[in-house]
Amino acid sequence: MAVVETRDLTKVFKEGQLGAVNNVNLETREGEFLVFLGPSGSGKTTLLRMIAGLETPSSGEILIGGRVVNDLSPRDRRIAMVFQSYALYPHLSVYKNIAFPLKAQNVKKELHKEKVEWAASLLGIGALLDRKPRELSGGERQRVALARAIVREPAVFLLDEPLSNLDAKLRASAREELERFHRRVGTTTIYVTHDQVEAMAMGDRVVVLNKGVVRQLGTPTDVYDNPADTFVATFLGSPPMNLAELGDVIVGFRPEHFRPVSTITDAALPFRFNVENIEYLGSEWIVSGTLKGGKLDGKKVFSRLSSAQNLQLGGRYEFAVPQQHLKFFDRSSEKRAEPRAVSWQ
Amino acid sequence: MAVARNKRMSIGAAQSPLLGAAMFSPAVLYILLLVGGPFLLAILYAFSDARIGNTEMHFVGLENFRSILQSPSFRVAIRNSFIFTICSQIVVIVGANILAIALEKAFRGRGLIRFLILMPWVAPISLGAIGWKWILDSIYSVITWVLVAMHIYKPFSAPMWLGEPHLAIASVLLVHSWRLMPFSTVILLAGRTAIPKDIPEAAAVDGSGFWRTQLQIVIPMMRPIISVAVLFGLIFTFTDMTVVYILTAGGPFDSTQTLPSLAFALGIQGSDLAAGAAISLFLVPLLVILAYFMLRVAHRAEVN
């Protein structure tokens, strides 16, 4: 097990252009499940590939287990990686796929069978060892890829969107399985995804990336409840945080905190809300509409309610946001700012 | 949806069966006239005593085959056909793999080098072979000149590339390999680019070095495309007579004769149509087997 650290890590693909990864400083914790979360093009995969040794950094350092590994080839970094496509070797049986890292690392031949069977049983694919990858379902392929990664007991696991090729139903169960798998083996894991649900559900901590820059590093609760800037605030949550400009400050509030006044007992900022659309999602309702009156007249906002049965399309209602759930961002830097008294009237 | 479309199409075809036949007929005519006709004629000649300049023809049964099998030149020709075909394929596949690996990654001037490598395939075989005839000539050979200049050989005692049986065989082999290399390189290059980049990367992360990745992952994955290159190469080499004919005309002493060149030498140049036809018929079963595998491989490549 080991800790991965990056120091001012930068990758510029084309001279003179903005880097894909810019001055990233990160440090995992021992045995941690760290998630890189960001939209496509945010540099999360490039960052992971640099850690794996598949991409050469333009500047900065990568440390694994306290040792600078910039000049080490992937094979010498004691890492294992699961690719988005799984990258199974199509001409080899499942057994040979899993045994390949052992062969490549010159592990004694007598040990192969035992180790392959151990990895396969850990992932419940013991019965598939004679099959070829093309005869497997998506979920089975993913497990083979994981077994191949774990078989030589690496110091660090790198997972590049391993669930994105599975259908929605399978994804939920595969996610749970991955979490259980991580708890059992306890290896430091870096997981790349663009899916905030995966990031929130699986990560011990989440790194939110945008345009090659780390926007925030924190626990899922941290990044959701205390977003460092407006990007993090709107990237996490569905529908995203409502943002409204008031003078030199941006006020943000989550849809679930924007509720009818009657349901709020604490001190709250009141709004007049014109309901324009109501979506019923089973366990909750998503209500969208515009604010009325004052400086925020016409501002589109979302509300997430457990019940919206007494709301009418086109109706105007008194809504409010509890004071403690108002987030403030500086208007020019878009970074988190100190709470202050605001009024939209 | 697919069913409905099929139905509509079959109705459309049924409405004008003549159109289908008309579209198809040039291909059929071409094959019947230029392939089927000569082939039947060859079978006819092979069982007769047909000669150029003689209008009479008698059925002689298997006499031609019997006498061919006893002829030493025929045995040499059969041996050479196999040597040239198999050895040149080995050289070509090894060489083409190396070239394809070298040309896979982008570098300055790659386009030019790719173009140059393709040249032997684009140029007519006869011109290429004539060029090589000069390169290997007993008096004007540049290779000899270089060897003499390097003091490896003395003038006048240098090897006669096309004049000594073993050297002549090696020379023909070399030219065949030179000729086929670009074709295989292009095919293998295409096969290489078709392999997802993830796979060699996964191998690298799994701890595999360059050679292991190439030999155990990439090349096995390219097996279908390599089979295509090999099968085409086998047929091109096996049926080719231009290279031998121009370089050595089968000599010295029939030592580089192949089945096609011997058939030509006996049947056309030697006026013994019957013998020539019988020799060329020996090629048929082999080529049928090769063609069968070629179609199978092509089909499988499609499925994958």
- Co-location of A195 and A255 in the same domain: no
Suggest the residue from B195, B197, B201, B205 to mutate for an interface test with chain A (most A CBs closer than 10 A): B205
Residue A136 lies in a domain: yes
- Co-location of A116 and A188 in the same domain: yes
- Co-location of A123 and A192 in the same domain: yes
Residues of A in contact with B216 (CB under 8 A): 100, 103
- Co-location of A117 and A244 in the same domain: no
- Which domains are present in chain B? 1-46 (no CATH), 66-303 (1.10.3720.10)
How buried is residue B156: exposed, middle or buried, by Cβ count under 10 Å (0-12/13-18/19+)?
exposed
**Which of A54, A85, A148 is nearest residue B196 as measured by Cβ atoms?**
A85
Highest-pLDDT range among A201-205, B128-132, B142-146: A201-205
Please give the pLDDT value at position B15.
64
Please give the pLDDT value at position A246.
84
CA distance B19 to B1: 26
Nearest CA in chain A to B223: A91
Taken in order B104, B109, B115, B120, the sign of the CA dihedral is negative
Please give the pLDDT value at position B7.
47
Whether B4 has a pLDDT exceeding 60, the answer reads no
Please give the pLDDT value at position A289.
93
Instruction: Provide the CATH number for the domain around residue A33.
Output: 3.40.50.300
**Which of A54, A75, A90 is nearest residue B207 as measured by Cβ atoms?**
A75
Nearest CA in chain B to A85: B198
CA distance A260 to B117: 75
Whether A14 has a pLDDT exceeding 90, the answer reads no
Residue A135 lies in a domain: yes
Please give the pLDDT value at position A205.
95
Q: How many angstroms separate the CA of residue B208 from the nearest CA in chain A?
A: 5
A208 is in which domain, residue-wise? 4-225
Alpha-carbon distance values, B46 to A150, B7, B36, B49 (Å) = 67, 49, 15, 8
- Co-location of A196 and A251 in the same domain: no
Please give the pLDDT value at position A185.
85
Strand partners, A318: A272
- Co-location of A87 and A156 in the same domain: yes
Residue A19: band (very low, low, confident or very high) from pLDDT cuts 50, 70, 90 = confident
Residue A11: band (very low, low, confident or very high) from pLDDT cuts 50, 70, 90 = very high
- State the average pLDDT for chain A: 90
**Residue that terminates a domain, selected from A157, A192, A225:** A225
Residues of A in contact with B223 (CB under 8 A): 91
**Share of residues in chain B with pLDDT > 90 (%):** 17
Please give the pLDDT value at position A1.
59
- Co-location of A221 and A252 in the same domain: no
* Chain B contact present for A154, CB below 8 A: no
* Chain B contact present for A300, CB below 8 A: no
Suggest the residue from B206, B216, B226 to mutate for an interface test with chain A (most A CBs closer than 10 A): B206
Residue B304: band (very low, low, confident or very high) from pLDDT cuts 50, 70, 90 = very low
* Chain A contact present for B136, CB below 8 A: no
Q: Tell which wins on pLDDT, A241 or B9.
A: A241
- Co-location of A251 and A215 in the same domain: no
Whether B8 has a pLDDT exceeding 60, the answer reads no
Q: How many angstroms separate the CA of residue A97 from the nearest CA in chain B?
A: 10
Please give the pLDDT value at position B301.
59
**Residue that terminates a domain, selected from A161, A192, A225:** A225
DSSP A95-143: HHHHHHHHHHTT--HHHHHHHHHHHHHHTT-GGGTTS-GGGS-HHHHHH
Instruction: Provide the CATH number for the domain around residue A263.
Output: 2.40.50.140
* Chain B contact present for A3, CB below 8 A: no
Whether B101 has a pLDDT exceeding 60, the answer reads yes
Please give the pLDDT value at position B42.
87
Write the CB contacts of A114 (distance below 8 Å, at least 6 apart in sequence).
none
What stretches of chain B adopt beta strand conformation (E)? none
**Residue that terminates a domain, selected from A195, A225, A255:** A225
> pLDDT digit string (tens) for A297-306?
888 999 999 9
Residue A345 lies in a domain: no
- Co-location of A18 and A50 in the same domain: yes
- Co-location of A66 and A205 in the same domain: yes
> pLDDT digit string (tens) for B11-44?
555 567 888 888 889 999 999 999 899 889 888 8
**Which of A53, A87, A91 is nearest residue B202 as measured by Cβ atoms?**
A87
> pLDDT digit string (tens) for B168-193?
888 889 998 998 899 999 999 989 98
**Which of B208, B216, B223 is nearest residue A75 as measured by Cβ atoms?**
B208
- Residue A219 identity: T
Least confident interval from B136-140, B153-157, B234-238: B153-157
Q: Tell which wins on pLDDT, B247 or B202.
A: B202
Residues of A in contact with B209 (CB under 8 A): 75, 104
> pLDDT digit string (tens) for A158-204?
999 988 888 888 888 888 888 988 988 889 999 999 999 999 999 99
Residue B64: band (very low, low, confident or very high) from pLDDT cuts 50, 70, 90 = confident
Interface of B with A in 223-252 (CB under 8 A): 223
How many beta-carbon pairs below 8 A join chains A and B?
Answer: 60
Residues of A in contact with B227 (CB under 8 A): none
Whether B255 has a pLDDT exceeding 80, the answer reads yes
- Co-location of A190 and A313 in the same domain: no
CB-CB under 8 Å, B204 with A100: no
For chain A, how many structural domains are there in total? Answer: 2
Q: Tell which wins on pLDDT, A105 or B271.
A: A105
- Co-location of A293 and A199 in the same domain: no
Nearest CA in chain A to B208: A104
How buried is residue B23: exposed, middle or buried, by Cβ count under 10 Å (0-12/13-18/19+)?
exposed
